[in-house]
Amino acid sequence: MKAWRLHAYGDLRFEDAPLPEVRPRWVLVKVKVVQVAVVDRGVIEGVPNPHQPRIRKMWAEGKPVQLGHEFCGEVVETGPNVSTLEVGDRVSYPGGHFRCGACPMCKSGNESECLSPMNFGLEVPGAFAEYVSVPEWGLVRMPDGPTDNEVAAFQPLGVCVGNVRNANIQFGDTVAILGQGAMGLGILQVAKLAGAGLLIALARRRESLDLSRDFGADATVNVTEADPVTEVRRLTSGRGVDVVFETAGGRKEDGLAGFETVRQAVQMVRAGGKVFQVANLEGPLELDPVHMRSRSIKYMWPDPVGPEGLKYAAFLVASKRVKVGPQITQVLHGLEKLPEAMEIVANKAKYHAFNPPQIVV
């Protein structure tokens, strides 16, 4: 089969790879649609991330790294003793690691703290390939209704579900969302379902904010035209919002906002409110502890993701409560188009993209 494999930072090759082995309790999946996440780009370029020691270990053992974790596939073969999936099932991957099932943490029911985790896109070769082999417990069967393209966008939506659940929004809470990419638009819709009151969407691009209004934002702020902190305070009678979701931060080389939106988030939250850090940040973060403590600001990180978020994300789209279709504007055909997709993901504004670009394999 054909696959994109990383042999060293910056050395990504489209090459022939052996069809993956189907072990007991694993299934062989034909990749139908895969999305290119902004984190994939960072991994390829060698941006610091917690998986780097494992990546270096794989290279030291002569194993290339095969990325790709946001995908829709179809089970084409089941290994011995598979009990939860059948040939023909449409599946997706929830994010997070595959538990080993044998270590003390797994055996005591603390699988999110597994001591020998395998990650999809690392130890388990990922979906920038024609086929992947995955443990059956690492996949979720998808409902009928959503398209394959929509299913490929469910992994980040599942993370949005988990983030909103972690933030524990109370009925009527005022909510601001910094950034209206795939994560921001997903959190907007899920927060509304979770009972959010006034919902304020903030972004740099007018076309994103048009979608935000379609998806249920009560107020939108174009941060290139108005000061985001001033606007949020004005919209909340000076108090600030109960909850801020920060989805815009990250590497400026990837078209993201650096730490600027984090600083704005802690200024626009009310005293005692929560700032929920959705975006992946990189490097040392400076926050003013006097401001944070004197105003009792809760700065929160997401819990590890599990399959429940993905299952619920699929249900929300299948039952037409949440939309992902309108966000998917860039669909390329053929796995060989990965470099083109990488260019789009780093320059979403230039290409008028919201969702990560997709590749139909």
Residues that bind Zn ion (CB under 5 A): 100, 103, 106, 114
Min dist. Cβ of residue 115 to Zn ion (A): 5
Q: Are the CB atoms for 248 and 286 separated by under 8 Å?
A: no
Q: What is the largest CA-CA distance in the chain?
A: 62
Strand 298-300, strand 269-277: pairing? parallel
Question: Phi and psi for 304 in degrees, rounded to 5?
Answer: -55, 145
| C-alpha gyration radius of the chain | 20
Comparing CB distances to Zn ion, the nearer of 65 and 114 is 114
Min dist. Cβ of residue 107 to Zn ion (A): 8
Min dist. Cβ of residue 135 to Zn ion (A): 12
Min dist. Cβ of residue 105 to Zn ion (A): 5
Q: Is 216 left (phi over 0), alpha (psi -120 to 50) or beta?
A: left
Reduced to 3 states (helix: H, G, I; strand: E, B; else coil), residue 87 is coil
Q: Are the CB atoms for 278 and 302 separated by under 8 Å?
A: yes
Comparing CB distances to Zn ion, the nearer of 48 and 53 is 53
Task: Give the up-direction half-sphere exposure of residue 207: CA atoms within 13 A in the CB hemisphere.
Answer: 12
Distance (Å, rounded) from C-alpha 337 to C-alpha 161?
30
Comparing CB distances to Zn ion, the nearer of 108 and 224 is 108
- Find the helix or strand (DSSP H, E) in which 156 lies: helix 154-167
Comparing CB distances to Zn ion, the nearer of 88 and 109 is 109
Comparing CB distances to Zn ion, the nearer of 102 and 226 is 102
Min dist. Cβ of residue 324 to Zn ion (A): 32
Comparing CB distances to Zn ion, the nearer of 107 and 213 is 107
Residue type, 257: A
Min dist. Cβ of residue 123 to Zn ion (A): 13
